Chains A and B, each alone.
Chain A
Amino acid sequence: AQSVTQLGSHVSVSEGALVLLRCNYSSSVPPYLFWYVQYPNQGLQLLLKYTSAATLVKGINGFEAEFKKSETSFHLTKPSAHMSDAAEYFCAVSALNSGYALNFGKGTSLLVTP
């Protein structure tokens, strides 16, 4: 089965600092991977996705992620954090056995301090 593990339930960075949110995947086949962001009392919004076209994926709001097969990782990064980036971030992998529903990680709460 396809699954993801997010390391660190809470991450705190200063405004302007590098953001790094970690995600490792487990999959017996080449995975489809996603990062979503959730603001309070809202649904999930897609940041970016990996579908094997390119290992470095650029998304919205300055975020990007690199697929590393050797490390089974898909970490999310942003060079300079903004206060508006404070939110919950979810890594997800497409599940082959349930209509390509998503198997989510437990989420990482990003706090940005002034």
Chain B
Amino acid sequence: EADIYQTPRYLVIGTGKKITLECSQTMGHDKMYWYQQDPGMELHLIHYSYGVNSTEKGDLSSESTVSRIRTEHFPLTLESARPSHTSQYLCASSREGAGNEQYFGPGTRLTVT
């Protein structure tokens, strides 16, 4: 069954630590996205990718970075976590073309202490 996975689901870490949030999809989608969602609030795009070796910054300024070495894998990295990074991070993917829906992973809830 095609799906999109995120690990870990929950993460509590201390300030200054480097972390990588994993996202993988088995649908062969070229496009992948990372959104940040604060509790009870809308989602904001932080990164997206058109395909392998393509990465772009989204509308919301973020200190994170992403990479896209394989089609199915789109990890997000924070070099030095801060309390302001505490949030939920959602990964999504879609087929090429306008009007195609995005499929979302279950999210990673990050808490930085």
- Number of A positions contacting B (CB below 8 A): 26
Q: How many CB-defined contacts (below 8 Å) exist between A and B?
A: 72
Chain A residue, CB-CB nearest to B10: A41
Chain A window 87-110, contacts with chain B (Cβ cutoff 8 Å), 1 for yes, 0 for no: 000100011101111111111010
Quick one: given A32-B99, A51-B99, A94-B99, are A101 and B33 in contact (CB under 8 Å)?
yes
Is A45 part of the binding interface, using a Cβ–Cβ cutoff of 8 Å? Answer: yes
State whether A42 touches B42 (Cβ < 8 A).
Answer: no
Which chain A residues in 60-114 approach chain B with CB under 8 Å? 90, 94-96, 98-107, 109
Quick one: given A98-B58, A99-B50, are A44 and B90 in contact (CB under 8 Å)?
yes
Rounded to whole angstroms, the CA-CA distance of A27 and B7 in the bound complex is: 35
Quick one: given A43-B106, A106-B42, are A49 and B58 in contact (CB under 8 Å)?
no
Rounded to whole angstroms, the CA-CA distance of A34 and B98 in the bound complex is: 12
State the Cβ distance, B88 to closest chain A Cβ, in Å. Answer: 9
Chain B residue, CB-CB nearest to A51: B99
State whether B104 touches A44 (Cβ < 8 A).
Answer: yes
State the Cβ distance, B38 to closest chain A Cβ, in Å. Answer: 11
Please report A residues at the B interface, Cβ cutoff 8 Å: 32, 34, 36, 41-46, 49, 51, 90, 94-96, 98-107, 109
